[in-house]
Amino acid sequence: MEKIIRLALLLILILGFACSEQTETKTDAIEKKEQPTVSFTFDDGITNDIANYKFEDWNSLILNSLNEAELKAVFFVTGFNKTDEKGTFLLREWDKENHKIANHTFSHPNFNDKNNTVEVFEEELLKTDVIINQYENYVKYFRFPFLKEGKTTEKIDGIRSILKENNYRNGYVTIDASDWYVNSRLIKQLKDREKVDTLAFQAFYLKHIIERAKFYESLSYELTGRHIKHTLLLHHNLTSALFLKSLIERFKSEGWEVIDAIEAYQDPIYGSVPKPEFAGESLIWSLAKESGKFEDKLRYPAEDSRYEKEEMDRLGL
């Protein structure tokens, strides 16, 4: 009888432990779903030395930061400088590390300009496609330069038709920022001054990117009622080289889950197609503008140097 009681107690303990584990697993899963999520995408692909940093070195810093975090990005490249030795080296390095290679036009034109017609768009798209389609990690995603998709319904519809005919998807951004402006001011100081406080630049950069991420996360949550999988727009530049590792760590420390960019693009939000009159900027900006519910929160342009200049001047950056 005593043996039976002991066995019964043991069985109760085992079942209790199993139930506890299941409950914890379910709780963890729920909590994980409640995390904001971000991925990293990069635009352009420059191939020159910057200040005292050799091109090969600063490019490696970006790749090393991604590798250390076990993250894969999507690299939206312009084609004009990708056929020479350095351009080929750049694409091979990113492809070798299994980052996706996508299209960002040939010469980076602004399609809100009336001179950049639908015909110009098709030429720009196809010229770069020929350059990048030889790489193993080539994907048919396209990102608009300056996030400008054209000012007229006719042009936007024409461009969308060309993308569809060529089996391309819009490589939307959901978190936009002005990292390019911080980068330009950092480079100017590196050229003009003997001593530059790069840590102060890093602090501003991290604060700026996280603030913009929180803004678009809040906006997207109000729009959809959930945490979408975000794509952050960064540029292939010196600030990414010097500060990306810290940026990834900051996102994690603030409770964000970081994932591969191609995974983020599987989120249903990227199947959204804003009406032509609202196209451009961040996808979240476009959808919020289209809804008509967020006029008090939206500015145009969504991100620009004008919004960061005063504070950077005040900080001596």
pLDDT in tens, 275-290: 999 999 999 999 999 9
Q: How far apart are CA 299 and CA 14, in angstroms?
A: 58
- Check residue 303 and report its DSSP letter: S
Q: If you average pLDDT over residues 204-211, what whole number do you get?
A: 98
- 31-35, 158-162, 268-272: least confidently modelled range: 31-35
CATH number, domain of 160, equals 3.20.20.370
- At 121 the pLDDT is 98
pLDDT at 41: 99
Residues 216 and 153 in one domain: yes
Is the pLDDT assigned to residue 170 strictly greater than 50? Answer: yes
Q: Please compute the mean of the pLDDT values over residues 310-316 and round it to a whole number.
A: 98
CA angle 118, 122, 125 (to 5 degrees): 130
Parent domain of 9: 1-34
3 and 85, same domain (yes or no): no
Percentage of the chain surpassing pLDDT 70? 90
**Same domain (yes/no): 133, 24:** no
Q: Residue 63, exposed/middle/buried by CB under 10 A (0-12, 13-18, 19+)? A: middle
Contact at 8 Å (CB) between 143 and 111? no
Q: Within this chain, do residues 13 and 100 fall inside the same structural domain, yes or no?
A: no
What is the model's pLDDT at position 249?
Answer: 98
Calculated CA dihedral for residues 248, 249, 250, 251, nearest 10 degrees: 50
Do 71 and 14 share a domain, yes or no? no
Count up the domains in the chain and report the number.
2
